[in-house]
Structure 1
């Protein structure tokens, strides 16, 4: 009977990079599923997974698995995520009795003991894994139990027999591993075989393999430039921005690997899913063990919300952030704001509307669930995030009065009358009262607090110890104006020019988070000025690696549909029309399919996607992506085809893709950003999604970004669907249709 799994640190590095296992692996623990370089050895009642650097002094993660133990308590479908959380737990180092776990895992500490959620909230599984960070005072870790409640760990009674046996058997396990015949080396020894999802950034290649010929010249120029100032890496979807950023990050770490000065690097993302992706990408590229050998250097990979929560220590006051995930936090915040708009509609709005502007009245009077209401709510959310919270309007009557009367900037929400702004303050006050009532802090409240901390004497005194020499930022287009303002404060030496390396594609920003930029050609870029970065150097990637030339052409014409008014002046070079060259062979021409109704799309696309998913070879994925938020919920709740697809309603669920089997994915473009599919059916690209009015320009900009992001997920086949009952094909597609990039057919003529 197997009592425990013991994994050494070098094996954890390989497992973190990802591997493909079936659900029954948690009963067989088969060696066949393990990544290259990880050996399975059995000694007594313990199974060891040992990496190439395992020895008698290796640190172990010991997981108790005997009957009714850690994994028996979970449904089979929830076990992979729980195991991968344990792998991440085992790889990160604890400091001062606390462990740097994501706050979305809801960690609870009690001296050397810690518990955390086994699965994401979206899974519906609320079990908690319990572990000892320093069992018997050692540097090993021991996951000993799983519980459905947040137990008082101070009263926990722990049986260490399985742990003691695993540590005692390590010598014999290493000897058994070393006594095996060496595995023949493959012809290409720069490649680590990884499953599709872990493969999608680095392809399993080493750092040297990328530097010695796999990068394009433009990517190489970016990676090799000296870090004397901040860098901007821009490019359309699929041009290799994240890969280039990861190569640059690992390359800089290697330069400081043998240094003693303590190089500190930060890699920020906007979602927990991207944190996992970057962590896996760096682990898969680090064939030399740079991370393990860089004793004086340090790399932290996290969201900005995690960083803020660690600094502010809200838990000491019994407070909890709405989310540590930037995207999830914004979604939850938007739901709360929508609810407060509804409350105002039923109360104060009755008397206030006669004094407000016509356009504002139209937005405030719209019905929840309609595109007009969602557009208006997003505008209100941006106003709260980038104006009210950023300027501390809550703090005094004087600031509220200034908000009501001072001239408004062009990027702000269109509120021509003072009475419009008074209603916004009503919504804001109700929103703050709601958050206070449930004991949580909104995403923007947390960032506002963090900005205050970064401008404090306290931070000034500890920044040399806690700050960073280099800050990498992926998907900067998802960071709003207030979030971007934190970045220059994070540098450990404020006497030098900030070194912030950022990758972004402003046209993938479906949330209007790039409001407030004022870029101009020549001189210091407005983005740099807005972020207080000083002079920056810009690199642009123009070669697409993911999609066919035919899909690249559609993207170029969709790009022409972005409304230029206002934002082209704001973003300058970063908003000019894209010019894409595809590195892939030609494929099928994308099509626009015209349907009579949403029901016609449902009955056509879902069976079509199922048949396509079944016909593709292993590793090829199919996605149905909905461009309409309101209709996405309706499709998700419909039951007829429910067993055919894997729903993805937030980015944390992306880890489940590897276990989708022959099911296709059903999601929205925003939730699968960074993931590619062989075939994409982009549905509900309707003109009715954008209603005319004072907020239509921002609404159109967001919708074009959604369509652009969705279309760019396709590698080989792209089919776009519109419904006549919802306005027909969106104006976003006009240029692609008129210039022959999209073939237009009726749904009844599909083959």
Structure 2
């Protein structure tokens, strides 16, 4: 016997948000009414109806199919249904664009994808689904196939009678459910445009409108709203930079309308994921349709937005935006460097500086080599590409050798060093052409060239923007920042921009996982020239964490005076004030080895979830290489439900969780907030580590600790050597206490 299931978008989300993981094994109906959902059975179909559902509601239809269906209940898991729900939301606006690690395939209306993350107990079963079957608005999940059962979409012949039978009694189920609901129907705001993104900003927006936010702003946030551009808005995590930009954009549009003027406003992001978050926040806070005059999109897409430019047939972008593009490009550059070292490198080695040779020959998995690959990528994107140096051309070598180098460029001093980089660049360009790909940086470079044409100088008076807002400026490279100058209407004045950046974050950390050069120092390149003197406006009142957490962050900030940490650390945390309630002094615990550390850190997290003041709890790993060990420990039943974030895409699952433990590397929790954070998984550090390693440790510690509102625990193990100096001295100063 088979049983089919029909959900609405709202009913499945209500179940995912409210139900415990064990509920999904049978999905009984006795609890559903607490979530404004009714479970109705007609024949072999179970319907889940939300209080807000209508006849035309978009449905999620899951067909049971022997021998791969209900018999082993593999799809009756919360984690599997989370992906079902997310894909159904995305399918509302075709094409169905799913995260890369889902390995989706498409054929007409059919699509397939991995139903869950790979674990030791789930070997990546795949859904076969169809968007809008028979012209309906539904998403139909035909079958959930085991790893050894491959479904070829182009040959798939679905039996639509099964679908017709599954939805046959929808109207009757809807009528029956309405007789059970009590009180007036409520309009639900449960389902956001993009489910995966709502969790990231809940702590920031809190559902308030523009007017409702004003009484809650700090003095420095209010002062920012009065500023005239250009302004760089600086502040560490939790100070509300994105919130301020959005409030400022709404304010400027509203004030202009009151004066009978119309403003054209651009809000630039670095990725489509951030664009969706910004758009969702903007629409939440907007009370007077200001969003009508505010364009929000990634800089990556600005060319197609402004010039209607399209790529030639057969040419595909490497990455869907600058964020994804940089990740994809870094992988490619790293591979090409490794190959070139085996083939070309011996011809250059004797003519380069010893420190350059040491970096090239360093461990490919180490921080020095990853940072080197990142700098090579920036050299391709911001020097060789923009300067139009064509690899293989007769004058390319001399042209590159003679190029005057600015402070923001990669450190290349000898001709041989430059020649080696140029050779790798040739392989890079050839590899893209062979795969019919164009990099995101090449797209940006073409866009900049269009902006510098005389034709745009005429167009910009009508099509340029009165105001430009830029979020996450620290992720924009030299060439991307260069483009910003040309997007405003008036070329004769300084660009009217409001830019937000986090002085603790850097592109090197985000993409290469290694701290490198300063991201906010005064560059001597073109950007510094065209931007002129820009006011620095720092946010100093932190809403995220209490005084004790702030004290530890201050200590980290001041603990390395002998190292040149750069201007990205210049914000004086002594001037930053904590606005959250008082919290406990952060505590450090020592353990014998990594296994004991992992076990006790997870147990501590579980204990916090049972405390009334524990709230949302996260175990944040400073070294992401420790994730595998922690995932293994998390399988222990005594740990309870542990939500593992193996990538930023896994953020989608957070909106479905209540009091579960979140386990993630520090880089994946940027932008999130938890009541309690267990900081662990510190890397093994040599006594006299090189400064990139030290910078990386400090940055990741800062990121991990600043995720906490009230409570911080730090767990380390003796097998890794002594406690890092920054934590040893924190104990002596009282910023950190030690417990057995």
TM-score scaled by length of structure 2 = 0.74
Matched, 1:209 2:212: yes
C-alpha separation in 1, matches of 2:609 and 2:177: 44
| 295 and 669 in structure 1: CA distance in 2 versus 1, 3 angstrom threshold | closer
2:593 corresponds to which residue?
600
User: Structure 2 matches for 1:586-597, cutoff 5 A?
Assistant: 586-593=582-589
Other structure's SS at 2:709 match: strand
Alignment of 1:354-503 (within 5 A): 354-394=350-390, 396-455=393-452, 470-491=467-488, 498-503=495-500
The one-character-per-residue Cα deviations of 1:230-261 (angstroms, maximum 9, x if unpaired) are 44322121222233334445556777999999
RMSD: 5.4
2:569 matched to 1:549?
Answer: no
Aligned partner (choices 589, 596, 602) of residue 609 of structure 1:
602
* CA distance in 1: counterparts of 2:549 and 2:526, whole angstroms: 33
Shift of 1:318: 4.2
1:262-321: CA deviations, max 9, x gaps? Answer: 9765544445554454455445546x6x6xx67955653x54446568866448324242
Shift of 1:392: 3.5
CA distance in 1, matches of 2:231, 2:389: 33
Q: Distance in 1 between matches of 2:185 and 2:137?
A: 30
Distance in 1 of aligned mates of 2:155 and 2:503: 46
Rounded Cα–Cα distance in structure 1 between residues aligned with 2:254 and 2:159: 44
Aligned to 1:316: 313
Match of 1:539 among 537, 540, 559: 537
- Mark the CA change 1:399 to 1:517 in structure 2 (over 3 Å): closer, same or farther: farther
Q: Measured at CA, do residues 646 and 39 of structure 1 come closer, stay the same or move farther in structure 2, by a change above 3 Å?
A: closer
Relative to structure 1, the CA distance from residue 107 to residue 272 in structure 2 (aligned partners, 3 Å threshold; closer, same or farther) is farther
Aligned to 1:717: 711
In the TM superposition, what whole-angstrom CA distance separates every residue of 1:651-671 from its partner, at most 9, and x where no partner exists?
Answer: 111122345676633332221
Counterparts in 2 of 1:517 and 1:600: CA distance versus 1, 3 Å: closer
Q: Aligned in 2, Cα 1:295/1:470: closer, same or farther, shift over 3 Å?
A: closer
Name the stretch that deviates more: 124-133 or 471-480.
124-133
Give the Cα–Cα distance (whole angstroms) in 2 for the partners of residues 262 and 166 of structure 1.
52
Give the SS at the match of 1:587: coil
Report the equivalent of 1:188.
none
Tell me the distance in 2 between the aligned counterparts of 1:121 and 1:322: 21
For 2:698, the equivalent position in structure 1 comes to 704
Moved more, 307-316 or 433-442: 307-316
Judged with a 3 Å threshold, the aligned counterparts in structure 2 of structure 1 residues 626 and 267 are, in CA distance, closer, same or farther, namely same
| Length, aligned pairs only | 693
Counterpart in the other structure of 1:225: 226
Structure 1 residue matching 2:618: 3-state secondary structure: strand
- What is the CA deviation profile of residues 340-371 of structure 1, one whole-angstrom value per residue up to 9, with x for unaligned ones? 33223322223421221010111112122233
Name the structure 2 match of 1:620.
Answer: 615
Residues 687-736 of structure 1 deviation map (CA, whole Å, 9 limit, x = unaligned):
439844xxx4x554444322211221223332335566656444555763
Distance in 1 separating the partners of 2:543 and 2:213: 15
Residues 256 and 424 of structure 1: CA distance in aligned 2, closer, same or farther (over 3 Å): same
8 Å CA contact 1:682–1:711 kept in 2: the answer is no
Which residue in the other structure is 1:650 paired with?
Answer: 647
Deviation at 1:686, TM superposition (A): 5.0
Helix, strand or coil for the counterpart of 2:711? Answer: strand
User: Could you tell me how far apart the structure 2 residues matched to 1:367 and 1:331 are?
Assistant: 20
Change (3 A) 1:713 1:88: same
- Per the alignment, residue 189 of structure 1 pairs with none
Does structure 2 conserve the Cα–Cα contact (< 8 Å) formed by 1:269 and 1:275? yes
* Structure 2 Cα separation of the partners of residues 266 and 159 of structure 1: 49
User: What's the offset of the Cα at 1:391?
Assistant: 3.1
Distance 1:632 1:680 in 2: 14
Measure, in 1, the Cα distance between the counterparts of 2:428 and 2:84. Answer: 35
* 1:153-168 equivalence runs, <5 A: none
- Asked whether the 8 Å contact 2:646–2:664 carries over to 1, the reply is yes
SS of 2:364's equivalent in the other structure is coil
Report the counterpart of residue 191 of structure 2 in structure 1. Answer: none
- Alignment partners' CA distance in 1, 2:303 and 2:34: 35
In the alignment, the residues of structure 2 paired with residue 157 and residue 132 of structure 1 have an alpha-carbon distance, to the nearest angstrom, of 15
Contact 1:685 1:707 in 2 (8 A): no
Asked if structure 1 preserves the Cα contact closer than 8 Å seen for 2:590 and 2:597, the reply is no
Give the match's secondary structure for 2:139. strand
Query: Are the aligned partners of 2:26 and 2:76 in contact in 1 as well (CA < 8 Å)?
Result: no
- Superposed, 1:254-269 pairs within 5 Å as 266-269=266-269
Deviation at 1:424, TM superposition (A): 2.1
8 Å contact from structure 2 (residues 593, 720) kept in 1: no
**What is the rounded CA distance, in whole Å, between the counterparts of 1:684 and 1:627 in structure 2?**
5
Tell me which residue corresponds to 1:667: 664
Q: 1:345 to 1:535 in 2, by over 3 A?
A: closer
Q: Measure, in 1, the Cα distance between the counterparts of 2:486 and 2:169.
A: 44
The corresponding residue for 1:239 is 239
Greater shift, 699-708 or 233-242, is seen at 699-708
Q: Would the aligned equivalents of 2:129 and 2:141 in 1 still touch at CA under 8 Å?
A: yes
Number of the residue aligned with 2:678: 680
Q: 1:579 aligns with which of 575, 580, 585?
A: 575
Give the Cα separation in 2 of the matches to 1:153 and 1:457: 53
> What secondary structure, in the 3-state scheme, does the structure 2 residue paired with 1:679 have?
strand
Question: Cα distance, 1:503 vs. partner?
Answer: 2.0
DSSP-derived class of the 2:504 partner: helix
State the secondary structure of the residue aligned to 1:603.
helix
Indicate if the aligned counterparts of 1:355 and 1:419 stay in contact, CA closer than 8 A: yes
Q: Residues 55-70 of structure 1 correspond to what in structure 2 (within 5 A)?
A: 61-65=58-62, 67=64
CA displacement at 1:684 relative to structure 2: 1.6
Query: Counterparts of 1:449 and 1:126 in 2: how far apart (Å)?
Result: 39
Conserved? CA contact 1:528–1:534, under 8 Å: no
TM-score scaled by structure 1? 0.73
